Amino acid sequence: MDVVFFLNIFRHILRISAHLQSQQPAQHILQKTSMKLPVFNKLFLVTLIASAFINAPAHAMTSSEAAATAQHEAVPVADFFRTPALTKAQLSPDGKRIALLAEGAGKRHVLAVMEVADLKPRILAQFSNVDISSFHWVNSQRLVYSVSNYQLDKDESNRGPGLWAIDADGNNQRQLILRGWKESGSMQRVLEWNHRFVSNAGDAYPDDIYVYKVQYHNDSSRAPTNDLLRLNTRTGAQVLIPRPGEALGWLLDQNKFPRLVSVSENGRSVSYLLNTDGSKKKLFDEALFQDDGLRAEFFDQHGKLYVSKLRNHDLRELYSFDTETLQTSAEPVIAFDGYDYNGQVLISRKNGEWLGLQYETDAPGALWFNPELKKIQETIDQLIPGKSNILSPSRDLDVILVYSSADNDPGSFYIYHPASKKITTVGQLQPWIDPARMAYRDPVRITARDGLILPGYLTLPRGQNKQLPMVVLIHGGPNLRGEYWHWDPEAQFLASRGYAVLQVDFRGSKGYGQKHESLGWKQWGLTMQDDITDATRWAIQQGIADPHRICLAGASYGGYATLMGLIKEPALYRCGIAWAAVTDIDLRYSVTWSDSNDYVEKFFLPLKVGDRVKDAEQFKATSPLQNAAKLRQPLLYAHGAEDLRVPMIHGTKFRDAVMQHNQQVEWVSYPNEGHGWQRLENNIDFWTRVEKFLKKHTEKP
């Protein structure tokens, strides 16, 4: 059957809604959608699988559960912020092995592999001074991996991840990419530090991978060029893929051949189709950092291109694209109600069949087009109820790796054998976390003063839901989706100490349509800030929050919004906690983002934050630094001395300004940290300070 016809058959709208009940935490309500679909004169029903909600337990706690929870001592701070014991697991293409990252000796993460037949792990690669942080299967017998340092030191701040290759039996290890910019590997066919892994190269080149060579220009207002190289993991031999201009990004087709490249041309991103004869064809172009154009997503098994675009200038949806006529399909192939298309399409590594779509709306879910996988999903959801169960099938669908998690559970990996219906635990991410003691995290919808619907999540202490002290936890970015139905260590820690935690994707956040995002452009400290205020007042009106015991908290942009919230709404917030905070918008232009290029300032900042000259007065009015004298509430304020994204000057300037007028400021700096806390001891120190600070300043008057 032609895939275009197949996809059009299964075109539908996915709807998930969430409702907050006044007497208990929100219940997820799944609305299954169906269509009458003409296939060979028969009618079929398409059903949405949202595994997080199938057989989900009610989030209301019984009195006995609440009493049992109350008898326990508080969960230690370290348990929330420890690096997971298991961070990733991935099935080999043939389904015979599982590779995983796990904590080994010296608290360093190692790369291990186990045979599916016996599930006995053995260490494949490890280092004494760094952690193995990521890996990818090149083929069923060979992997590549990169490193990081979870115990970050100052001299590690400018180190790259590097890349090594190794066989699954531990033989034939080879370094492919260096870590440091001062190192040289030209004599050994080792690539310089500015190369990054992209993908394996498919069956045509089974031992090869694709890597980007990121080239920075002397004119830093130009975007970096991403050269694409095919690299042999055994010999180090490389092939440079020709490009028609300064490449921003590439897209591989169903056979892992480079078929589409986007290049930078006079401030625009122009996408070209690369034909097998070496010719190219212009497909579409858009201004840099403008999000309203076409976005190439993937090629199907027949080489047809699929793109996403905005419907009615709002929600991003998936369409097929005709590379001859340069037209998209009249109707979307897949769309979500209230969410941008964000799917990960799974295509069979055996015959190119489109197996299904994994996505995230209010919670993770899957839509399977393959009947066998649909039945497998239903079976696993019965075996592991109340969880989001994400499937990763082997090439022949005879072995399934399952990642199962929930709002109150960091997650576990399982192996499932469809033939025997046997499921076996591979490992837990954080085995020291007891989900029965963790809080539930429920989606809410809040109406802002101008009618805009603000998606968010509410995390409540177990057994409590009325007149609580509350922390409004604000995400960074801000132009990203900040909140998900996932395990959130910060929200869980605060809830374990008795606080309601409200998190909201205010306007300017991505993922909910172009309107939701663009309404936040140039609105730092203005309507973006009003959304935080409106969400806070909503929680008061619902009876959730005690209006006299509410604090703001956040990092980066969230730190900025915390400071501005205290300044703009002194009667609403009793205290604030800010770390790695932007404290002045104009300062952000002049000394920040030293880990990026000036093209961000040239194209991104004027569009989404404001023009440094034209909006100078607005910048002053919405600058925490310029308005520091107005902040009189208690403030816990922290910064990392090695922060490249928001340099320390943001912290010290604001600290000096606010302390002239406010004696209730607790300042802390961490000399070996960057943009956030990576070391466990610093997380313990900071969040212990948070606990004491909140307890002191949220006591009932």
535-555, pLDDT tens digit by residue? 999 999 999 999 999 999 999
Question: pLDDT > 90: what percent of the chain?
Answer: 72
What is the rounded average pLDDT of the residues 364-378?
94
**How many Cα atoms are found within 13 Å in the side-chain-facing hemisphere of 654?**
35
Most confident of 181-185, 356-360, 600-604, 689-693: 689-693
- Lowest mean pLDDT segment, chosen from 113-117, 144-148, 592-596: 592-596
pLDDT at 575: 98
pLDDT at 317: 96
Q: Which of 452, 512, 521, 456 is nearest to 316 (CA)?
A: 512
Question: pLDDT > 70: what percent of the chain?
Answer: 85
Contact in structure between 516 and 523 (CB atoms under 8 Å): no
The mean pLDDT value of the chain amounts to 86
Q: CA-to-CA distance for 394 and 224, rounded, in angstroms?
A: 36
Q: CA-to-CA distance for 369 and 402, rounded, in angstroms?
A: 18
Of residues 153 and 164, the one with the higher pLDDT is: 164
What is the rounded average pLDDT of the residues 21-34?
28
Does the pLDDT at position 366 exceed 60?
yes
pLDDT at 289: 65
Looking at residue 130, the DSSP 8-state letter turns out to be: S
- Lowest mean pLDDT segment, chosen from 80-89, 501-510, 607-616: 607-616
Does the pLDDT at position 42 exceed 50?
no
Does the pLDDT at position 200 exceed 90?
yes
For the stretch 563-599, pLDDT in tens is 999 999 999 999 999 999 999 998 888 775 554 555 6
Q: ∠ at Cα 97 (92, 103), nearest 5°?
A: 100
Q: CA-to-CA distance for 256 and 162, rounded, in angstroms?
A: 23
Cα 205 to Cα 95, 199, 239, 531: the distances in Å are 20, 12, 12, 51
pLDDT at 278: 86
What is the rounded average pLDDT of the residues 18-38?
27
Phi, psi (5° rounding) for residue 133? -110, -20
Does the pLDDT at position 279 exceed 80?
yes
Does the pLDDT at position 700 exceed 70?
yes
For the stretch 393-449, pLDDT in tens is 999 999 999 999 999 999 999 999 999 999 999 999 999 999 999 999 999 999 999
- Lowest mean pLDDT segment, chosen from 214-218, 544-548, 627-631: 214-218
Specify which residues 273 forms β-bridges with: 260, 281
pLDDT at 557: 97
Angle between the N-to-C axes of helices 527-541 and 557-568, in degrees from 0 to 180, rounded to the nearest 10 = 70
Does the pLDDT at position 13 exceed 70?
no
Contact in structure between 344 and 318 (CB atoms under 8 Å): no
pLDDT at 4: 36
Does the pLDDT at position 69 exceed 60?
no
Of residues 287 and 242, the one with the higher pLDDT is: 242
Burial class (CB in 10 A: 0-12, 13-18, 19+), 700: exposed
pLDDT at 361: 92
pLDDT at 596: 52
What band does 522 get if pLDDT is binned at 50, 70 and 90? Answer: very high
pLDDT at 143: 98
What band does 40 get if pLDDT is binned at 50, 70 and 90? Answer: very low
pLDDT at 606: 84
Determine the 3-state secondary structure of 683 from DSSP: helix
pLDDT at 352: 77
pLDDT at 62: 45
For the stretch 643-666, pLDDT in tens is 988 999 999 999 999 999 999 999
Phi, psi (5° rounding) for residue 283? -105, -55
Cα 375 to Cα 49, 365, 379, 391, 476: the distances in Å are 11, 15, 6, 12, 39
Does the pLDDT at position 295 exceed 60?
yes
Q: Which of 25, 92, 75 is nearest to 430 (CA)?
A: 75
What is the rounded average pLDDT of the residues 80-99?
96
User: 545-555 and 575-579: which strand pairing?
Assistant: parallel
